[in-house]
Chains A and B, each alone.
Chain A
Amino acid sequence: MAVDIDFPSLPKQRVPRFVLSPRRILADVLSKGWVESLIPFVALLCVVAGVLATTNGYFEGSNLRNLAQYAADGGLVVLALLVVVAVGGIDLSVGSNFAMSAFVALFCFHILQLPVPAVLLASLLAGATIGAVNGFIAGLLGCGALLTTLGTMITTRGLYTLASQAQLVEISSSARIDDLWDWIGFEKVLTLPVGFWALAVVAVLVLIMFRQTRIGWHILAVGGNRKAARHGGIRVKSTIFFAYVLAGVIVGLSGFLFAARQNSVGSDTGIGMEFFVLTALVVGLGGFVPGRGAVVSVLIGFATIYILNNAMINAGFRGDFVQLSMGAIIVVILAIDVKFRKNRHRLLASTYLDPVSFDAGTVEGMRGLMPDETAPKLKDARILASGRVDGPEDVLLDAAGNLYCGTRDGYLYRLNAPDHAEAEVLAKIGGRPLGLALDREGRIVACVAGMGLVRVTMDGQVELLTDQTERSLLSVQDDTTIRMADDLDIGPDGTIYFTDATKRYDIENWGLDLLEGRPNGRLLSYDPATRRTRTVCDNLVFPNGVCLAHDGKHLLVASTWDCSILIFDLARLSDGPRVLLSGLPGYPDNINRASDGGYWVALAGMRNPVFDEAMRHPGVRRRMTRHVPPTNWLFGNLNIGGVLKVDGAGKVVDAFWDAPDGPLYMITSMREHEGELYLGGVTNDKIGCLKLDKADPTWRGPESYWGGRS
């Protein structure tokens, strides 16, 4: 019955290894998270370049070591402030806290003569205490962070002044010498000062906290949206309290390092520090942005301010002039950054669509079969479940004749045999269920756009099989997520072959993929035994319907915009596809087996001369998407479609159309069952059923795959 497919004699389909396009690379880079810190980074580069141009030997090893030595305490305080800002607060008391912690360290070391680890502990405790006071008032009591920390700033400064005046003489006259104390203050490890390593370790820990730990995520969630965080079950008040305490501890560490290095404090210690670190933070974050734990960004901002300040003072400018220029430069950096952030999404939106010239070839093999050349055969179809199913992209029949279809609202419906009149919910999946198939055990495997591959048992249990595949090597964008699983079929060994129609657009925007005309899709496989997902063939042009050939050895894949049907040899998948059929008159969607050894091909829409011409003009399409409202974009005609009957060798032998204003105006799927053809359409709300003249009245789809009669 089935015709042997002469695979080697079919023409090869060229599949690009990768898609290289400057516009795409720009768009992909713009959509990366790290682009947020682009402007601070560029600012840092500019500052470094400026310093290089105006000084000699600034970036020599000795000076860099020197810079690193003094950077530690400021850098740590910036990180402390980041933690507080991330939770949605602010801490003005960091400068006073810093001075107080340094004093506590000196007091414990010189007066109390405690061992150095105990001194460290005391400093951290001092910092934590002030943080806890802030956290208690601002977090637990809910007073304003600004007022609270202003209060603690003044109070702590007062305490510090009293304490330091009382003890300063004794501290400075102390003769205690300790190796560990001096090692922390002056020694270098791997050529860099100990303090700098402390900064690096704390930075990594804070980074890990924000990225990987529960409390870090809670801090970001509370900062991002306090109300939502509370609704999400996060203990908001204690999270804020914790953030202040943590910030206090980091400031305490900073004060300890300062004390070990300087061995003294002065009345001006830590004065103005809060404004210095606030500036660094604002430059790094591009403003006061709660809910963002961008450690690298704020360190870049800190480095910018620190080097700028240091270089200007080194150059011998007057202090007030340095302040004036710093202010002006920071305002410029911030202005550019704010503009960039504001327009980044606009820039991304205008570069994301990247059309290319595309030619689907002329229509072939349709003589006498076009809609205006034949009688509309679908006019005779019965209409089932009219108005009860919203967008049945695929229809599926089990051996008993029950019909299944997915709908736009994420349900899988069952229409019971024999009359298929009522639609009942089999399962709620979510996403947008598209292609369906029955596996050997009689379970439904569904491609769900926005979710991936899902398996549904006949009692409605839903299991996600896969939603990710391997990342392709040469792409800036992370393409591991399966964005638009479209259709599938199951091989004799149980391997599920399915298509991810486009890696670049979601189900709401799949039309843009047509306007782009690039090979954005891929054929994937999922092995239920190993639970492994593989990319069988990347860079296909909107691969859509998948059908295992009657011989069980080949796989048919519809390439929708290419208006062609590709064929893979399952034994040699790596050889790539060949073209079984090209020059279709419309956009092929699902493919399914016919009882006579041929195949049914659904056409979701029809080509027309003007649109084919527009596909050869990428610039027109790109400008159109910029200047014309989306509703007015020129598009493929998805208002008319039909079904083609293809024989086993890949020749179109018949075509089924409805009248142009008929109920089955576009078809995305069809299944033959006991001499009848069931038809579904992704924009329709009904299912058609057409009695076939020359079909085997006993043929059923599942038995053609898995054999036997149930």
Chain B
Amino acid sequence: MMSIFRSRRQEPPAMTLEGMLGPNGRLDDAAGMCVDAPDALCVNADGRLLVSSGTRVMALGAWGEEPLVWASFDAPVTALCHGGGLVAVGLAGGSLAVLDATGRPHDGWSLPAGSVASVVDCAFRSQDEILLVDCGYGADANVLSQAAWDEEPRGQLIALRRSGQPSVVAAGLHCPMGVALDAKGSALVSLLERARIVDPSGRSLQSGYPGYLGRLRRTGNGYVLACLSRRNPLIEFLKTERAFVAEMKAKIAPRHWIAPRASPEFSHDFPIELGATRLFGEIKPWAPSFSYGLLIEMDESLMPVGSAQSRANGRRHAICDATVWNGALIAVSRASGEILKVGEAA
């Protein structure tokens, strides 16, 4: 009965790539450095940039220098963060390593095996406490393909104290991908598929971003948000076509699903959208695409104030992390396997 009187609150319309987010080629124009399988970034206490590269973490003294191996692990690195002189490294399979500034293991941190499916991002709350983001999917799952077609909120935000047990700060998050602390020290979590930033209680702080959200990072006067791809009207429409999606999931390998993609590669067995048909062999920059490069700069209230993009014809797609290093905004493109110096940080 009450439902009749309850006002039906409409979601604010999703942002489009217009206005502040108007198309540009900043990612394509940015200087780039090739790194093998990069994923996460952070700045170490000694001022060097740490970049994950497969199972290793590389350290970069200055832009353009040859990166040096800083630490090596058995499993691929899935998250990096720095705080209070410590560096936390999330590893595929849901384990965590905490190192000091020189790369030596730091004692007392233990994440019991099996307690999380993955660690896709982390942030030190203090020298003794770290927040871990568990997206809910294991390392071998193609999160980008699956998240759009999976309604189950299996992600969580975990707090781990030194010499303590992990505790769940927030559960039932739908595919969280990044965590950042605001000026007051409370956590902000970016949700990949729901395209919104929430606080640990699940309350939406800002929604309707035009992308599939990756990691969220604090800059001097706001945030940057790495987006793994952009929203696609076809995918949004197919969410209403349950029978079709169920058959697609049952019959077809996730690689071939209609879903956001991390790479702009051509393949004969991928679906395309009508507008993506090549003319004279060229992809039009404004063509629809399942992969995209998008880095959103935001103010303190999480409103976009600018963006850096690599459009449909670019190759620096799937921006998965970003940070400010020596006054410059550095981003990671998973598709092109590069770290990019996007420009001076705001």
Contacts and interface: CB of A to CB of B under 8 A. Distances in A.
A610 B271 contact: yes
B251 interface: yes
B46 interface: no
26 contacts: A371-B267, A372-B268, A610-B256, A613-B244, A613-B247, A613-B248, A617-B244, A623-B237, A623-B240, A624-B234, A628-B233, A630-B275, A631-B273, A631-B275, A631-B287, A632-B275, A634-B234, A634-B273, A637-B270, A639-B272, A660-B265, A661-B266, A665-B278, A666-B278, A683-B280, A685-B280
Contact of B258 (A370, A585, A634): A634
B12 to A, nearest CB: 20
A99 interface: no
Interface string B75-97: 00000000000000000000000
The SS class assigned to the B binding surface is loop
B74 interface: no
Nearest to A627: B237
Given A608-B268, A613-B248, A620 B256 contact: no
Given A608-B256, A609-B252, A661-B266, A635 B281 contact: no
B237 A628 contact: yes
Interface string B123-161: 000000000000000000000000000000000000000
Nearest to A603: B268
Given A610-B252, A666-B278, A637 B272 contact: yes
A632 B272 CA distance: 9
B269 interface: yes
A684 interface: yes
A687 to B, nearest CB: 12
Contacts of B238: 620
Given A609-B256, A610-B256, A634-B258, A639 B271 contact: no
Interface in A638-683: 638-640, 657, 660-663, 665-666, 683
A683 B265 contact: no
Interface string A8-28: 000000000000000000000
Interface in A610-632: 610-611, 613-614, 617, 620, 623-624, 627-632
A280 interface: no
B113 interface: no
B2 interface: no
A635 B273 contact: yes
A608 B266 contact: no
A631 B268 contact: no
Nearest to B257: A610
Contacts of A623: 237, 240-241
A633 interface: yes
A327 B262 CA distance: 66
Given A613-B251, A633-B273, 10 more contacts: A585-B268, A610-B257, A613-B244, A614-B244, A617-B241, A623-B237, A635-B271, A637-B268, A637-B270, A661-B281
A330 B237 CA distance: 43
A620 B241 contact: yes
A239 B234 CA distance: 54
B221 interface: no
B276 interface: yes
Interface residues of B, number: 36
A633 B274 contact: yes
Contacts of A630: 274-275
B326 interface: no
B279 interface: yes
B232 interface: yes
B268 A606 contact: yes
Contacts of A634: 234, 258, 271, 273-274
Nearest to B243: A617
A511 interface: yes
Contacts of A617: 241, 243-244, 247
A660 B258 CA distance: 19
Contacts of B267: 371-372, 640, 660
Contacts of A586: 268
B288 A632 contact: yes
A628 B239 CA distance: 12
Nearest to B269: A608
Contacts of B271: 608, 610-611, 634-635, 637
B255 to A, nearest CB: 10
Nearest to A511: B274
A480 B70 CA distance: 75
A655 B149 CA distance: 36
Contacts of B251: 609, 613
A609 B269 contact: yes
Nearest to B252: A609
Nearest to A663: B281
Interface in B209-244: 232-234, 237-238, 240-241, 243-244
A511 B241 CA distance: 22
Contact of A631 (B247, B252, B278, B288): B288
A607 B247 CA distance: 17
B234 A628 contact: yes
B204 interface: no
B165 interface: no
A684 B247 CA distance: 35
A662 B288 CA distance: 20
Given A631-B274, A634-B271, A640 B266 contact: yes
B277 interface: yes
A610 B277 CA distance: 17
Most buried by B among A630, A634, A661, A662: A634
B233 A629 contact: yes
Nearest to A387: B280
A620 B269 CA distance: 20
Contacts of A639: 266, 272, 276-278
Contact of A638 (B240, B243, B277): B277
Interface in A681-697: 683-686
Nearest to A512: B274
A549 B287 CA distance: 41
A-B interface, 5 closest residue pairs, ranked by CB to CB distance from nearest: A631-B275, A660-B266, A606-B268, A685-B280, A635-B274
B252 A613 contact: yes
Interface in B276-311: 276-281, 287-288
A475 to B, nearest CB: 27
Nearest to B286: A631
A620 B280 contact: no
A153 to B, nearest CB: 57
A370 B281 contact: no
Contacts of A610: 248, 252, 256-258, 271
Given A609-B256, A613-B247, A666-B278, A640 B234 contact: no
Contacts of B258: 610, 634
B251 to A, nearest CB: 7
A624 B274 CA distance: 12
B237 A606 contact: no
A638 B234 contact: no
A229 B46 CA distance: 81
B140 to A, nearest CB: 21
A132 to B, nearest CB: 59
A632 B277 contact: no
A247 B244 CA distance: 62
Most buried by B among A387, A614, A657, A662: A614
A631 B265 CA distance: 19
A683 B279 CA distance: 5
Contacts of A683: 277-280
A368 to B, nearest CB: 15
A384 B265 CA distance: 26
A284 to B, nearest CB: 42
Nearest to A390: B280
B272 to A, nearest CB: 5
A632 B233 contact: yes
A140 to B, nearest CB: 54
Contact of B281 (A372, A636, A684): A684
Interface in A352-370: 370
